[in-house]
Amino acid sequence: MTSRILTVTLNPAVDKSSTVNNIQPEKKLRCSAPVYEPGGGGINVSRALERLGISSVALFPSGGRTGKLMQDLLKKENIHFLAVETEAETRENFIVVDTSNNSQYRFGMPGEAVSKTEAETIHEAILNASPFPEIVVISGSLPEGLKPGFLTTLIKELKARNVKVVADTSGDALTEILKEGVYLIKPNLGELSKFTGHEELDNDSAAEAAKKLIAQGKAEVVAISMGPQGAYLISKNETVHVPAPSVKKLSTVGAGDSMVAGMTAILAKGGSITEMARMGVACGTATTMSKGTGLFTIENAEKLYNWLSR
């Protein structure tokens, strides 16, 4: 039996994607019929977990027409969710691919501000989730109006209830998360450099920097995505490097979220650090094989995982 998992997306977005042949300025461009998909860090993690046969609940603020659309899209994918109603309209992102050269253009829209009362409602909804989760994945950016300190308080309360917190965020939000410390973080090299005082990191020094964060109690496990070079997963006693399989990349949208989902799925099953790293890289890489904002297929993820496990 798998652990109970709650994903938290504080700044969700509906991803609207289309294709255009030969993008040029100041010309009327004929787009293909748009495709709408639910998006935002934690929501994508829940969608990816569902493909891996792992049930979770996706919690997110939801407002206006786009918020209703988000809920309808998640229902179609049979994703369990808890939508916290807000006055703020849920944002929409736009992704377009130029079919003449396969270049992808990603336009991220800002989210509307969340009020203090709404922030308190979101906080209470997380702490009152039933059944209460054993793993909480906090992923994505913070909306306007939600102070980074929101996360510090939340994580302290979750840890007091023996919850394993997995965090994939950046900027001020990551700074606040590291103040309290979590089970797993997934910084990029730039963020890892900033938080450990290194000007520039390579493979060897990145692992050393991650060990420094772990020794300071900032995380028990640090996952470092290295793009084409794969990923490192580092704990107090282990350093695991998994190379990225060579595949035909069609889109990078959702690859990082899929990596988090792969690692979380193995964590929920009580797997090893090595298995977490392999499944994370397999799911992240498999997602790049899908067009637009589509996530991985289970067939591609399992094929790559088996290849990495040889």
Domain ranges of the chain: 5-20+33-308
What's the CA gap between 289 and 133, in Å, rounded? Answer: 32
Choose, from 98, 172, 202, 257, the residue flagged as catalytic.
257
Residue pair 177/216 in contact (Cβ under 8 Å)? The answer is no
What's the CA gap between 28 and 256, in Å, rounded? Answer: 33
Q: Supply 71's token pair.
A: 């809920």
Q: Looking at the chain, list the stretches that DSSP marks H as alpha helix, in order from N- to C-terminal side.
A: 41-51, 64-76, 116-127, 149-160, 171-180, 189-196, 203-215, 255-268, 273-287, 298-308
Residue pair 197/233 in contact (Cβ under 8 Å)? The answer is no
| Amino acid in the structure at residue 140 | G
| Amino acid in the structure at residue 61 | P
| Sheet containing 91-98: order of strands | 35-39, 13-20, 91-98, 103-107
In angstroms, the Cα distances linking 305 to 3, 46, 150, 301, 302 are: 21, 19, 36, 6, 5
Long-range Cβ pairs for the range 28-37 (8 Å, 24+)? 31/96, 35/292, 35/293, 36/69, 36/73, 37/73, 37/293, 37/294
What's the CA gap between 257 and 51, in Å, rounded? Answer: 13
pLDDT score at 213: 92
Domain 5-20+33-308 in this protein, CATH class: alpha beta
pLDDT score at 192: 87
pLDDT score at 2: 47
Q: State the first-to-last Cα distance of the chain, in angstroms, to the nearest integer.
A: 26
| Residue 257 among the catalytic residues | yes
pLDDT score at 3: 56
Residue with tokens 């394993």: 164
pLDDT score at 207: 87
| pLDDT per residue of the chain (310 residues) written in tens, 0 to 9 | 345 999 999 999 999 989 999 999 999 999 999 999 999 999 999 999 999 999 999 999 999 999 999 999 999 999 999 999 999 899 999 989 899 998 889 899 988 899 999 999 999 999 999 889 999 999 998 998 888 789 999 999 999 999 999 999 988 889 899 999 999 999 888 888 888 877 777 777 888 899 999 999 999 999 998 877 889 999 999 999 999 898 888 777 788 999 999 999 999 999 999 999 999 999 999 998 887 667 899 999 999 999 999 8
Residue pair 58/139 in contact (Cβ under 8 Å)? The answer is no
Check the CA dihedral 162-232-288-96 and report its sign: positive
Residues 6+ apart with CB under 8 A from 298: 51, 52, 53
pLDDT score at 161: 96
